[in-house]
Amino acid sequence: EFVARPVGVCSMLRLPVQTSAEGLDAAFVGVPLDTGTSNRPGARFGPQQIRAESVMVRRYNVSTGAAPFDSLLVADVGDVNVNLYNLPNSCRRIYESYQKIVASGCVPLTLGGDHTVTYPILQAVAEKHGPVGLVHVDAHTDTSDMALGEKIYHGTPFRRCVDEGLLDCSRVVQIGIRGSSYAPDPYKYCWDQGFRVVPAEECWMKSLVPLMEEVRQQMGDGPVYISFDIDGLDPAYAPGTGTPEIAGLTPMQALEIIRGCKGLNIVGCDLVEVAPIYDVSGNTALLGANLLFEMLCVLPG
Amino acid sequence: EFVARPVGVCSMLRLPVQTSAEGLDAAFVGVPLDTGTSNRPGARFGPQQIRAESVMVRRYNVSTGAAPFDSLLVADVGDVNVNLYNLPNSCRRIYESYQKIVASGCVPLTLGGDHTVTYPILQAVAEKHGPVGLVHVDAHTDTSDMALGEKIYHGTPFRRCVDEGLLDCSRVVQIGIRGSSYAPDPYKYCWDQGFRVVPAEECWMKSLVPLMEEVRQQMGDGPVYISFDIDGLDPAYAPGTGTPEIAGLTPMQALEIIRGCKGLNIVGCDLVEVAPIYDVSGNTALLGANLLFEMLCVLPG
Amino acid sequence: EFVARPVGVCSMLRLPVQTSAEGLDAAFVGVPLDTGTSNRPGARFGPQQIRAESVMVRRYNVSTGAAPFDSLLVADVGDVNVNLYNLPNSCRRIYESYQKIVASGCVPLTLGGDHTVTYPILQAVAEKHGPVGLVHVDAHTDTSDMALGEKIYHGTPFRRCVDEGLLDCSRVVQIGIRGSSYAPDPYKYCWDQGFRVVPAEECWMKSLVPLMEEVRQQMGDGPVYISFDIDGLDPAYAPGTGTPEIAGLTPMQALEIIRGCKGLNIVGCDLVEVAPIYDVSGNTALLGANLLFEMLCVLPG
Amino acid sequence: EFVARPVGVCSMLRLPVQTSAEGLDAAFVGVPLDTGTSNRPGARFGPQQIRAESVMVRRYNVSTGAAPFDSLLVADVGDVNVNLYNLPNSCRRIYESYQKIVASGCVPLTLGGDHTVTYPILQAVAEKHGPVGLVHVDAHTDTSDMALGEKIYHGTPFRRCVDEGLLDCSRVVQIGIRGSSYAPDPYKYCWDQGFRVVPAEECWMKSLVPLMEEVRQQMGDGPVYISFDIDGLDPAYAPGTGTPEIAGLTPMQALEIIRGCKGLNIVGCDLVEVAPIYDVSGNTALLGANLLFEMLCVLPG
Amino acid sequence: EFVARPVGVCSMLRLPVQTSAEGLDAAFVGVPLDTGTSNRPGARFGPQQIRAESVMVRRYNVSTGAAPFDSLLVADVGDVNVNLYNLPNSCRRIYESYQKIVASGCVPLTLGGDHTVTYPILQAVAEKHGPVGLVHVDAHTDTSDMALGEKIYHGTPFRRCVDEGLLDCSRVVQIGIRGSSYAPDPYKYCWDQGFRVVPAEECWMKSLVPLMEEVRQQMGDGPVYISFDIDGLDPAYAPGTGTPEIAGLTPMQALEIIRGCKGLNIVGCDLVEVAPIYDVSGNTALLGANLLFEMLCVLPG
Amino acid sequence: EFVARPVGVCSMLRLPVQTSAEGLDAAFVGVPLDTGTSNRPGARFGPQQIRAESVMVRRYNVSTGAAPFDSLLVADVGDVNVNLYNLPNSCRRIYESYQKIVASGCVPLTLGGDHTVTYPILQAVAEKHGPVGLVHVDAHTDTSDMALGEKIYHGTPFRRCVDEGLLDCSRVVQIGIRGSSYAPDPYKYCWDQGFRVVPAEECWMKSLVPLMEEVRQQMGDGPVYISFDIDGLDPAYAPGTGTPEIAGLTPMQALEIIRGCKGLNIVGCDLVEVAPIYDVSGNTALLGANLLFEMLCVLPG
Ligand SMILES: [Mn+2]
Ligand SMILES: [Mn+2]
Ligand SMILES: [Mn+2]
Ligand SMILES: [Mn+2]
Ligand SMILES: [Mn+2]
Ligand SMILES: [Mn+2]
Ligand SMILES: [Mn+2]
Ligand SMILES: [Mn+2]
Ligand SMILES: [Mn+2]
Ligand SMILES: [Mn+2]
Ligand SMILES: [Mn+2]
Ligand SMILES: [Mn+2]
């Protein structure tokens, strides 16, 4: 029976809520952590708001023809019980939760939370699948080494991943990078690792379909993880985020990127940095919900 | 284990979500309907936001010593699947849902929704328990007869209840009534039925403990329903509502009213008219969540 | 004399307010109805806010050279007195109001209200002019058949118009359509009727001037109605709406569409689905006011 | 016929809009000026928003039994066309407009605008009626002499009125005064003129009915003007204002003050300093609309 | 010369900004930390917003006659450079900063930040002055032992202070406590230490002048610290905070409490938990600025 | 040492605050004036909010390679003490302040304030450098002659500059102009002076790199002033402004324009019309901060 949009105890895409990912092909997971944020906090309420706005998303992807629920068993497995007062402990909690989720082959689709969460997620994912290729959309490379002596916060996850060998560095692409920087050569670290960096300037007023063809070549058949920081998009489209940068990507380009991942061997995805209080319309969260649905639509199988 | 406040797929007070009220002593029910609203709509998102803010409410009521979860089996039974485009049909849907909820003796605690919803709820409650006494907190008597020929909207529920004999009229009290009126004698109908009307003016700067002693006398041992329209409170405390009136009650008085119902034979409760978009802080919904918890704390048993 | 922007009891474009459209070439009409909305309500305050923000719009259209007030007698004829508690009855009220407005040849320019209102408006317009061609800008086709048994809400107006023969189906174009769908073949109904559907994807990063040349061919000399749902635009430009979809049209494209209608035999226009509370800056309403002014600028005569 | 709240091109209390006050007993007038504001601007949109929210106010005053429309001919005469770039010129424009309004005995009820506007209004009122008694509710005495050499802004109106002999100084009362001050003896000027100053502290947690009995004695039979700065109320009740001060009056006390003026020879009233953008709920404007209605209810006749 | 309110690079009360507290009688200090928050974050922007709104506060306290700048040398010494990713490290940074501030007898007035910050501040204060008496206004006792194994967050500061002997426990009073609790006996710990707990219920609709007379007795001549959590006040007055509880104190009572500390040997003060994004009017921050000014007004000397 | 973003008494880009521009190569200056605004006020808080959001901007401009702090001595010299109640007097105050700033060759970068402020700034700048070339980005030409007899407000600055010979009219370009107009020939005045007008329509969906090559030709070696009205951008990107117009420029184009000025002899810059209250996310101010940083990056030297 038809259900009105405001009806229901909210879960992602109105999916059933269950505590285990056992037997699932894919699972939405919330990680309500934002204590790794350098500027405006609030992404801890990202999972809640993305779930709430996901009532607008329906079964079928008209543009691509995808019907993910016809071929995949999917559920919402709730939130990781993070420790808001201790980032390393939260990372351990996330890692352990994801170990269980990925154990039986389930693909996790994460509702962040700030970008710190991708580090422990990739620990679990790489433990299962080996070093992964990475399609990373963001205004920032998130490859700082530390701040005030801290190795873990939302500016460092991919540095930590490199340190631990979680990434197949020649299969990493970072798209949408921009903004001023603390150092004169901010991409040096990335290039040294073999990452491809695609600054936002190279994307302005362009279709990214050709770029994604190259990305598919780069990724090959190996396992791939998609990490999508909503601040990769311009703040006009995603005002509800903690560290916005001007002159970013558009939602059309976001769709081109995600849809361009079709055919890859995707083993995990996340959508991070939605901080709802900075966009009380709910539209940033709605955008996040749609992008997560699009990720579901390009999963293998 | 401790769970951080932002963690969890939101249900009322973090209670388990289940589809049936069978075997429960009390059940929270959402009715996300607001198409009976005369001014600002938005109460359809009341249940969602009240659930979200209810993470602040803990197990024990320090002030009263109540520990409702020690004696009552309680759950969140989700939302009624309302028909947003047809008020009478929504009323039928609500009525049928509540018939099932009250069938086995479960006490429904409703998260509204606009005040229209109390009418079909009382149809089901009175069918089970006979005509009920009513403790009604509101800025408005909600006893209009019709508007543009319509008999059902949020200005008429208690008129309809009288029409159908659902109320034990000598055991009705309306507290907090105020505001300008369409007619010169707005309380005449209420008085004619035998209702007690306590205008807000009589409550100003006063403890309502003495009033509630009289109310307990008035209610006696018969079944009692509590209907709490958040606009009974002053808009300073509850800005997120559709038809606010100035110079209303305070949250302290709201607590005095609800706590003053302890000992009554309460067969149902509702908290209606929270329209979250008009208070993006979430505080009106938080107030609603607390008042519903206080209602739970005065249930018999 | 110059009048400061905040000065004046607000009417659309500071036009005189009158109760009858008799003798007018064109009339702005408000239809403050939003009870046909499936997700976020609030469009009932669209007419009020569009009028308020219209103080920014001046006499002359610099880009097109249009000076509508030099050739057309225009006024604001106020709002239809809708019935918020009964959608079919509201439709009847709208229909009867518009019968009078169009009777003497006046072209109605509607300030919605949700998209439900276009159905009764087209009843009156088609009664006067015969089946009309339609330039429909929207994220949604609005051709659902029903929800929970209801035939009338903002997802169905153009299905109802087809049912009643109000549209010249070969002269219908729907521009900006996108978003996920309940069915795998959402455009089938439209194509079966002979509608042209232009998905948003076909519009991305493109001028719509060539499209509009084709549309003018399609429309020919017959009567044409323009129905503009503000959610046809991307939520970045129009956050204040009830059912936003990501990756939509731009205001530049909106201008290209409306200006591209110059020369057509336009018999009515509407701008619907502005829900101001979701954009407290007023900018969504300002956009609506400008688009309505642009519609006025392409009226014949 | 019943008219739904969102319906109508907004005028104060849905009254007819007319350009002249000729023949009226009382007239609502907007003065959308805020360039006399020292802190947060925005009161220029006060008249617009107060009119919009006034749809909640109905014909009859239940609490007092007043039925002003039964005995008084009232209309909305629109806004004064202020000069936003020149305060003295705006004052002249206001003065000249009010000369016409009061000429035939009509009582003006002003929708401000910042408090600067009371000065030219009182020029016109005193010209007609002679020096007036003043019931002034405010957090501030508004009796500064100047700032940066300027004699006219919202901190000086009552000093200017004294300078010009517009006030009957022994019949002036200022209620709700509070907040820190630039000088150690901020009330000296007021006391030197013979004003009565009632600081907010003297009002805390008290009924003001006894105070108003004294005020009625003080005012006697002479002409009285009521000037109500919304910041006299606590910011909890009136957040939408430009220079809020903590620990203010309550709406109940506001009602006691205005209702306590019943029987006085009231020749004019204003409600100023509503700056709507600081309270997007609309509730500050709603409060202003109610207080203006209460003023109407105590007019003689 | 007069300075307009919007003018100036914001410092607290427009005081000079300096890096050292050397030679000062009192110093305002910002501690922009909020990673100890259990629910809504954002208090990291408390210092910024309190400074911005402090432009409304003037030199003289009219109500009490205090003229603090006549007798005290005061400055704004900026913010502690907190470590947002490591709470214990932030605590050490705060402690070390305050050691320097209090070294030469300067009284720190802290702009929080969440309540975690009071713990390291009291380490420095007690090191200088010995165990202190405490006037603690709050909805919460903040005496939890831990959450998820963490000993440091905004629910535990006063437990940690007791553990380390920083408080003279018989000279501790906690005012405004309320809300539901995780345990049935939430005040047991406080009572066991000898604290006085004054629940909000005991304050409702009452002047707190008599209470403060008792508090002054309790505090005697020893050093006293005032810790004011803005959530001690009702959310109507202070909506911009992270863990609001209904039915709290009023600003009048807040003034009675602080003014009632006049004559005590105050060695430090803080105003914590202002989270500005939840009150975009700025009024919660304005309230905080006023309360800090009132604290300055009761300092000895 | 690393400083967390929320830390610090806010100055532009965390630069030192000093009262004199003596010895500086460039200086940020705030002009918190908005009483020249025709529609929504609030730009008086532009300087405060731009400073607050500037914490996101770092030392190096990655895209252009600029490292302005390596070659230029820059500081924040605070705000001009404007007279909010007298526009001509404010203009004199601004003029006199800028005379001192530019005296020793310092380049002022202004944080507005409304566009009125550019007129007195250019008086000082032209007095120092002679008539200047102008790169003016705006939705409006700001060349009106007067309103209600007033010669000075935000619609007239460039007319006044022409009147006084402050502009080298053949070296003036206005980019982004759009919107309806009061007159049928709104660009006539500009063309008559020899200005180049580039309407927004000519910029739609295009890189402005070619345009800027022409602009550099036009500007030659003479002194150039950049005046950037944030409303030149589309309201999607800059909702926090007072007189928005639809279908404007993008931030990418803004960057192309400013970066395209590299090599010119820039003697002053401003960024005006940020009215923060209309964009509580802070993103409009963040955009302003970034554009000011980009201006700094193209200064000569
Ligand atoms: Mn990131
Ligand atoms: Mn990022
Ligand atoms: Mn009600
Ligand atoms: Mn009510
Ligand atoms: Mn539609
Ligand atoms: Mn639509
Ligand atoms: Mn005043
Ligand atoms: Mn005032
Ligand atoms: Mn606390
Ligand atoms: Mn607290
Ligand atoms: Mn301009
Ligand atoms: Mn402009």
Count D/F contacts: CB-CB distance under 8 Å.
68
What is the C-alpha to C-alpha distance for residues E58 and E48, in angstroms, rounded to an integer? Answer: 18
Query: What number is the average pLDDT over the span D122-140?
Result: 98
- In chain D, residues with a C-beta closer than 8 Å to the C-beta of C47 are 6
- Looking at residue E2, what is its pLDDT? 85
- In chain F, residues with a C-beta closer than 8 Å to the C-beta of A247 are 250-252, 254-255
- Looking at residue C203, what is its pLDDT? 98
Distance from CA of A4 to the nearest CA of C (A): 7
- In chain A, residues with a C-beta closer than 8 Å to the C-beta of E79 are none
Nearest to C78 among D9, D76, D81 (CB): D9
- In chain F, residues with a C-beta closer than 8 Å to the C-beta of A38 are 4-5
- D191/E contact by beta carbon, under 8 A: no
Distances in Å between the Cα of F63 and the Cα atoms of A142, A185, F256, F300 are 17, 11, 11, 18
Confidence grade of residue C6 (pLDDT, cut at 50, 70, 90):
confident
Alpha helices in chain F (DSSP H): 46-53, 68-71, 87-103, 118-129, 157-163, 188-193, 209-219, 251-259, 283-297
Determine the residue of chain B that is closest to D253 in CA distance: B247
Q: Which domains does chain B have, with CATH numbers?
A: 12-297 (3.40.800.10)
pLDDT in tens, D70-82: 999 999 999 999 9
- Looking at residue B1, what is its pLDDT? 78
3-class DSSP assignment, residue C160: helix
Distance from CA of B211 to the nearest CA of E (A): 16
Closest to E238 in 3D by CA, of E137, E158, E142 = E137
Q: Which residues make up the environment of ion ligand 9, defined by Cβ < 5 Å?
A: E 115, 138, 142, 229
Question: What is the number of alpha carbons within 13 Å of residue C282 lying toward its C-beta?
Answer: 27
- Looking at residue B294, what is its pLDDT? 98
Does an H or E element contain C124, and which?
Answer: helix C118-129
C44/B44 Cβ within 8 A: no
pLDDT in tens, A205-243: 999 999 999 999 999 999 999 999 999 999 999 999 999
CA D133-D134-D138 angle, to 5 degrees, is 170
- A7/E contact by beta carbon, under 8 A: no
Q: How many Å lie between the centroid of ligand 6 and the Cα of residue D255?
A: 45
**Per-residue buried b or exposed e for C250-269, using 16+ beta carbons within 10 Å of the residue's own CB:** bbbbbbbbbbbbbebbbbbb
What is the C-alpha to C-alpha distance for residues F301 and D53, in angstroms, rounded to an integer? Answer: 57
Q: How many Å lie between the centroid of ligand 12 and the Cα of residue F152?
A: 15
Mean pLDDT of chain B: 97
What is the C-alpha to C-alpha distance for residues A189 and E301, in angstroms, rounded to an integer? Answer: 57
Q: Is D280 exposed, middle or buried (0-12, 13-18, 19+ CB in 10 A)?
A: buried
pLDDT in tens, C23-50: 999 999 999 999 999 999 999 999 999 9
Q: Which residues make up the environment of ion ligand 10, defined by Cβ < 5 Å?
A: E 138-140, 229, 231
pLDDT in tens, E8-22: 889 999 999 999 999
What is the C-alpha to C-alpha distance for residues A58 and A293, in angstroms, rounded to an integer? Answer: 9
Q: How many Å lie between the centroid of ligand 3 and the Cα of residue B155?
A: 7
Structure-token match 């009761």, residue found:
E298
Is residue C101 within 8 Å of B100, Cβ to Cβ? no
What does B131-142 look like in DSSP terms, one character per residue?
A: SEEEEEE-SS--
Residue F267 is classified by DSSP as: E
Mean pLDDT of chain D: 97
- D82/C contact by beta carbon, under 8 A: yes
Which tokens go with C265?
């035999």
The amino acid that residue D28 corresponds to is F
What does C227-280 look like in DSSP terms, one character per residue?
A: EEEGGGB-TTT--S-SS--SS-B-HHHHHHHHHTTTTSEEEEEEEE---GGG-T
- C183/D contact by beta carbon, under 8 A: no
Mean pLDDT of chain A: 97
Structure-token match 């150092």, residue found:
A183
Q: How many Å lie between the centroid of ligand 6 and the Cα of residue A288?
A: 19
Q: What is the CA radius of gyration of chain F?
A: 17
Query: What number is the average pLDDT over the span A175-189?
Result: 96
Is residue E85 within 8 Å of E68, Cβ to Cβ? no
Q: Is D64 exposed, middle or buried (0-12, 13-18, 19+ CB in 10 A)?
A: middle
Query: What number is the average pLDDT over the span C92-113?
Result: 97
pLDDT at B277 over 80: yes
pLDDT in tens, C49-59: 999 999 999 99
pLDDT in tens, A103-123: 999 999 999 999 999 999 999
Q: Torsions phi, psi of F50, nearest 5?
A: -65, -40
3-class DSSP assignment, residue D178: coil
Structure-token match 């001046």, residue found:
C58
Confidence grade of residue C241 (pLDDT, cut at 50, 70, 90):
very high
Structure-token match 């040096």, residue found:
A188
pLDDT in tens, B180-215: 999 999 999 999 999 999 999 999 999 999 999 999
Peptide bond into D105 cis (omega under 30): no
Tallying the residues shown for chain D, one arrives at 301
- Looking at residue C51, what is its pLDDT? 97
Which tokens go with A288?
């996040």
- Looking at residue C301, what is its pLDDT? 80
- Looking at residue D9, what is its pLDDT? 79
- D38/B contact by beta carbon, under 8 A: no
Q: How many Å lie between the centroid of ligand 7 and the Cα of residue D111?
A: 13
Is residue F118 within 8 Å of F174, Cβ to Cβ? no
Q: How many Å lie between the centroid of ligand 11 and the Cα of residue B84?
A: 46
Question: What is the number of alpha carbons within 13 Å of residue D42 lying toward its C-beta?
Answer: 28
pLDDT in tens, E242-295: 999 999 999 999 999 999 999 999 999 999 999 999 999 999 999 999 999 999
Determine the residue of chain C that is closest to A57 in CA distance: C180
- Looking at residue A136, what is its pLDDT? 98
pLDDT at F1 over 90: no
Distance from CA of F86 to the nearest CA of A (A): 36
What does F17-31 look like in DSSP terms, one character per residue?
A: B-S--TT-SEEEEEE
C247/A4 Cβ within 8 A: no
- Looking at residue F90, what is its pLDDT? 98
pLDDT in tens, F198-231: 999 999 999 999 999 999 999 999 999 999 999 9
Give Cα D9 to chain centroid, integer Å. Answer: 24
- E193/F contact by beta carbon, under 8 A: no
Which ligand has the nearest atom to the CA of A243?
2
Q: How many Å lie between the centroid of ligand 7 and the Cα of residue B150?
A: 45
Residue F233's CB is within 10 A of a number of other CB atoms, namely 30
pLDDT in tens, F72-87: 999 999 999 999 999 9
3-class DSSP assignment, residue E22: coil
- Looking at residue C189, what is its pLDDT? 98
- Looking at residue A2, what is its pLDDT? 86
Straight-line distance from the first to the last Cα atom of chain F, in angstroms, rounded to the nearest whole number: 28
pLDDT at D272 over 80: yes
Classify strands C167-177 and C196-199 as parallel, antiparallel or unpaired. parallel
Give the chains touching F; criterion: ≥3 Cβ pairs < 8 Å. Answer: A, C, D, E
What is the C-alpha to C-alpha distance for residues C13 and C296, in angstroms, rounded to an integer? Answer: 11
- F178/C contact by beta carbon, under 8 A: yes
Nearest to F251 among A239, A247, A279 (CB): A247
pLDDT at D8 over 90: no
Query: What number is the average pLDDT over the span C135-158?
Result: 97
Closest to A235 in 3D by CA, of A181, A273, A187 = A273
What is the C-alpha to C-alpha distance for residues A168 and E67, in angstroms, rounded to an integer? Answer: 67
Confidence grade of residue E1 (pLDDT, cut at 50, 70, 90):
confident
Q: How many Å lie between the centroid of ligand 3 and the Cα of residue B120?
A: 14
A197 contact partners, CB below 8 Å, separation of at least 6: A141, A173, A174, A177, A187, A190, A191
pLDDT in tens, B26-43: 999 999 999 999 999 999
Does an H or E element contain A161, and which?
Answer: helix A157-163
